[in-house]
């Protein structure tokens, strides 16, 4: 079994290194700030790609952006021409690499139960949940979130261990696990009101679920403890789970669980940019050795894919960006300072007014003085033209969004392997339910 794990460990490392190389090679295309650009920043180096992007009709950009394979199919021929002219060789197949294609193996099942082999991984997961029996569980949970919760539980290996639910909110995930598995669930959440509401639900339905109100970042590491407590709820004989814990929160889970020797882990990472440091801190040795320097802005790239926005939402988003860019051009002229000036979030209702009203509001927010005879129509047209530019800069960057997300996921997988875990990776739901559909499963190796 150690031989199998060593093989998987080597495969994980090799895949990480390949992605790391591609991301470093293509950094000029994806480590960009579109709002600050006045031209395609890499046009001189990739002229064919630039020409191809400008030839695209604005009406097709959203459809291309929503589907990674379609985007790569549309842009990779031009990129290949530019690479050939430069004498570069990039592995562009990595741009559409899927979690399934990573083929990380399914040997985790061998430690879940004495009679389960690696060929029986699906039987190690939870049996299908009869949703008709637990329809009341979905009360107050939006449809897509409920789909995510049920899919996550159905892909969760049945480790036969008590469960720690990390960043639980009202404990919807833990409540379903307690019902479907009949195990004790300890749900950690820092907001007292959510803990109270979650505990009330659990008590009402007589479930073995208990809440701890605690700050995830205030918990200190401990090594190989056999019992959980209020100070640190992690212990060895436990399965820790987290569905879409953001940024540093799921990273803290990995660190605390590894320190405590927690037997089994199941996490779906999300919002990689929500970190306390100014730059990404690699977890694994490979990530720490990488030449990539990732800012919070860079870490937002994997999240820049919308598969759920309806046409009205997309239209409003495009309008907001055009207005923001129009005001940006106006404020640069008014202040005599050629620098981007970020604005706070706006209410959707503000987009139902006039562009001039938006500019006056924005100017008030940033103490910018506007000319009394300002021709707002001119600046709005400038904003629309700049938006055409930023959308194309973003499209080129989005070629690398999947590669960067897999790089981040593999960093977490490699860290767990370095910490003595057998790791497997899978998709727990369809991309249409959530693009953040990666599920990292880890089982502590004996000895």
Q: Which strands form 421-427's sheet, in the order they lie side by side?
A: 209-213, 185-189, 163-165, 239-246, 264-270, 438-444, 421-427
The tokens describing 81, both together, are 């021409």
Question: Looking at residue 270, what is its pLDDT?
Answer: 94
Residue with tokens 């990666």: 438
Question: Looking at residue 57, what is its pLDDT?
Answer: 96
Beta strands per DSSP E along 35-170: 163-165
Work out the pLDDT band at 111, boundaries 50, 70, 90. Answer: very low
Distances (CA, A) of 384 to 65, 270, 329, 346, 380: 19, 32, 11, 18, 6
Question: Looking at residue 292, what is its pLDDT?
Answer: 97
The string of pLDDT tens digits covering residues 131-178 is 656 667 777 787 789 999 999 999 999 888 999 999 999 999 999 999
Could you tell me how many residues make up the chain? 447
Distance, CA of 301 to CA of 86 (rounded, Å)? 26
Distance, CA of 295 to CA of 4 (rounded, Å)? 36
Instruction: Read off the pTM.
Output: 0.89
Lowest-pLDDT choice from 115-119, 263-267, 293-297, 307-311 = 115-119
The string of pLDDT tens digits covering residues 355-368 is 999 999 999 999 99
Residues of the chain with pLDDT > 90, as a percent, come to 73
The string of pLDDT tens digits covering residues 243-302 is 999 999 999 999 999 999 999 999 999 999 999 999 999 999 999 999 999 999 999 999
Question: Looking at residue 120, what is its pLDDT?
Answer: 31
Contacts of 145 (CB under 8 A, 6+ apart): 172
């Amino acid at each position: 079994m150690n031989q199998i794990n060593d093989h998987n460990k080597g495969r994980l490392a090799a895949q990480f290194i390949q992605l790391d190389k591609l991301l470093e090679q293509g950094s000029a295309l994806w480590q960009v700030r579109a709002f600050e650009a006045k031209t395609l920043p890499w046009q001189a180096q990739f002229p064919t790609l630039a020409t191809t992007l400008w030839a695209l009709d604005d009406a097709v950009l959203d459809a291309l952006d929503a589907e990674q394979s379609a985007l790569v199919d549309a842009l990779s021929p031009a990129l290949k021409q530019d690479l050939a002219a430069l004498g570069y060789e990039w592995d562009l197949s990595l741009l559409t690499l899927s979690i399934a294609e990573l083929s990380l193996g399914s040997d985790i099942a061998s430690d879940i139960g004495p009679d389960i082999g690696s060929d029986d991984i699906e039987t190690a997961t939870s049996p299908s949940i009869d949703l008709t029996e637990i329809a009341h569980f979905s009360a107050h949970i939006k449809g897509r979130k409920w789909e995510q919760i049920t899919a996550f539980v159905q892909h969760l290996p049945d480790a036969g261990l008590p469960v720690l639910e990390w960043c639980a909110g009202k404990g919807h995930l833990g409540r379903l696990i307690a019902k479907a598995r009949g195990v004790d669930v300890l749900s950690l959440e820092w907001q007292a009101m959510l803990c109270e509401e979650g505990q009330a639900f659990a008590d009402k339905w007589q479930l073995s679920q208990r809440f701890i109100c605690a700050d995830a970042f205030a918990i200190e590491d401990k090594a190989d403890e056999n019992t959980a407590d209020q100070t640190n709820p992690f212990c060895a004989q436990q399965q820790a789970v987290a569905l879409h814990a953001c940024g540093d929160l799921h990273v803290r889970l990995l660190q605390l669980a590894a320190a405590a020797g927690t037997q089994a882990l199941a996490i779906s990472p999300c919002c990689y940019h929500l970190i306390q440091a100014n730059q990404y801190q690699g977890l694994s040795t490979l990530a720490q050795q990488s030449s990539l320097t990732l800012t919070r802005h860079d870490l937002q790239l994997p999240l820049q894919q919308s598969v759920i926005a309806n046409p009205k939402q997309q239209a409003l988003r495009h309008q907001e960006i055009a207005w923001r860019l129009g005001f940006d051009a106006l404020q640069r002229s008014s202040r005599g300072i050629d620098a981007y000036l970020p604005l706070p979030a706006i209410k959707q209702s503000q987009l139902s007014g006039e562009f001039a009203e938006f500019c006056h509001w924005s100017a008030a927010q940033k103490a910018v003085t506007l000319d009394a005879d300002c021709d707002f129509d001119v600046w709005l047209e400038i904003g629309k033209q700049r938006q055409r530019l930023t959308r194309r800069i973003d499209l080129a960057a989005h070629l690398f969004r999947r590669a960067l997300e897999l790089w981040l996921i593999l960093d977490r997988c490699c860290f767990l392997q370095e910490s003595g875990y057998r790791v497997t990776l899978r998709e727990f739901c369809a991309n249409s339910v959530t693009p953040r559909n990666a599920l990292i499963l880890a089982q502590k190796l004996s000895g």
